[in-house]
């Protein structure tokens, strides 16, 4: 094991990214290719946006497999669906986890669809050193919804952040809410339960 990067001398870690038109079986095809190369999937996330599928994986593969061979194997299994593939080696120290003092919050924004909305919100968060770990946005009937999971460092006052975001939202025609992740999950679980018991 190489202590500087958490990898053994006979294995390497990579970030794999696959983009394709959505269809059943993409995750199965991609993970199958990794298994056939003798690899292990350590983490993964996928989503579909307007009919386009994207998948990101952290994988550990034998060190003697070249990046070009990894990419070719993934492109080959996606020949029916036309996979666009990026393979990036992970060098140095293992990917950082969320600082222990930071907490996860959910920011939701809903309002008029206009250019620059995502840029304004994400620029504000970036200036505050707030990391976005998950982001979803979509338009329907000239309305736009934006939901982000963020990591807020403890030095920021939540009431101040809420006020700033509400002010920005008012300028853009948006309603904005900041909730701790636990509160967001509990609130939505309660709403789902109520929907299930409606006559």
Domain assignment of residue 72, yes or no: yes
What is the predicted pLDDT for the residue at 114?
A: 86
Q: Are residues 85 and 37 located together in one domain of the fold?
A: yes
* CA–CA separation, 12 and 5 (whole Å): 10
What is the sign of the dihedral through the CA atoms of 93, 127, 177 and 102?
positive
Domain assignment of residue 98, yes or no: no
User: Structural domain of residue 57, as residue ranges?
Assistant: 11-89
What is the predicted pLDDT for the residue at 102?
A: 75
Q: Are residues 56 and 120 located together in one domain of the fold?
A: no
Q: What parts of the chain have a pLDDT lower than 70?
A: 1-9, 79-81, 92-100, 183-199
Q: Which residues pair with 112 in a beta bridge?
A: 143
Q: Where are the alpha helices (DSSP H) in the chain?
A: 26-36, 67-77, 117-127, 158-172, 181-197
- Spatial CB neighbours of 81, under 8 Å, sequence gap ≥ 6: 20, 21, 23, 26, 29
Residue 92, sorted as left (phi over 0), alpha (psi -120 to 50) or beta, turns out to be left
Total domains present in the chain: 2
Cα 64 from chain centroid (whole Å) = 30
Q: Are residues 161 and 115 located together in one domain of the fold?
A: yes
Provide the whole-model pTM. 0.70
The closest of 37, 76, 29 to 55, measured between CA atoms, is 29
Q: Are residues 115 and 171 located together in one domain of the fold?
A: yes
What token pair was written down for 154?
Answer: 């403890």
Domain assignment of residue 77, yes or no: yes
Q: Are residues 64 and 148 located together in one domain of the fold?
A: no
CA 90 to each of CA 18, 35, 54, 61, 78: distance values in angstroms, whole numbers, following the listed order: 17, 19, 20, 11, 24
What is the predicted pLDDT for the residue at 42?
A: 93
Q: Are residues 69 and 115 located together in one domain of the fold?
A: no
């Amino acid at each position: 094991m190489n202590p500087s990067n958490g990898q053994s001398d006979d294995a390497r870690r990579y970030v794999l990214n696959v983009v394709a038109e959505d269809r059943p079986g993409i995750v199965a095809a991609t993970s199958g290719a990794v298994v056939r190369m003798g690899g292990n999937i350590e983490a993964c996330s996928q989503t579909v946006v307007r009919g386009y599928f994207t998948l990101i994986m952290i994988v550990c593969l034998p060190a003697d497999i070249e990046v070009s061979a990894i990419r070719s194997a993934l492109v080959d299994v996606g020949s029916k669906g036309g996979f666009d593939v990026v393979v990036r080696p992970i060098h140095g120290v293992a990917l950082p986890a969320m600082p222990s003092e930071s907490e996860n919050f959910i920011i939701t924004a809903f309002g008029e669809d206009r250019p620059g909305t995502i840029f304004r919100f994400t620029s504000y968060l970036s200036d505050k050193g707030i990391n976005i770990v998950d982001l979803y946005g979509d338009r329907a009937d000239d309305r736009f919804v934006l939901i982000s999971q963020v990591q807020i460092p403890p030095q920021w006052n939540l009431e101040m952040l809420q006020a700033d975001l509400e002010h920005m939202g008012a300028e853009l025609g948006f309603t904005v809410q900041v909730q701790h992740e636990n509160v967001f999950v509990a609130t939505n679980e309660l709403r789902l339960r109520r929907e299930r018991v409606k006559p």
